A = this chain, B = another copy of it.
Amino acid sequence: MRELLEKIAAEGEVLPGGVLKVDRFLNHQVDPQLMKRIGEEFAVWFRSERPTKVLTLESSGISPALMAAYELGIPLVVARKRRPLTMTDDVYRAQVHSFTKQETNEIIVSRSLLGSGDRVLIIDDFLANGQAALGMVEIVEQAGADMIGIGIVIEKAFQDGGRLLRSRGFRVVSLARIASLDGGAIQFADEVMIR
Q: Which residues of A pack against B, CB within 8 Å?
A: 15, 19-21, 23-25, 27-33, 35-36, 58-59, 62-63, 66-67, 69-70, 73-78, 80, 84-88, 100-101, 109-110, 112-113
Contact = CB atoms under 8 A, between A and B. Distances in A.
A69 B29 CA distance: 11
A13 to B, nearest CB: 8
B30 A66 contact: yes
Contact of A33 (B20, B59, B70, B88): B70
Contacts of A31: 75
Please indicate which of the listed interface residues A35, A70, A100, A110 has the most CB atoms of chain B within 10 Å of its own CB.
A70
A86 B30 contact: no
A70 B66 CA distance: 12
Contact of A77 (B15, B29, B84, B101): B29
A88 B15 CA distance: 9
Given A23-B84, A35-B70, 16 more contacts: A15-B88, A19-B85, A19-B86, A20-B86, A21-B88, A23-B87, A28-B78, A28-B113, A30-B77, A32-B67, A32-B69, A32-B74, A32-B75, A58-B58, A59-B59, A62-B63
A128 B144 CA distance: 37
Contacts of A75: 25, 29-32
Which 7 pairs from chain A and chain B are nearest by CB?
A: A59-B59, A32-B70, A58-B59, A21-B86, A30-B76, A32-B69, A62-B62
A157 to B, nearest CB: 19
A50 B80 CA distance: 34
A32 B100 CA distance: 32
A42 B1 CA distance: 30
Given A28-B113, A29-B75, A23 B86 contact: yes
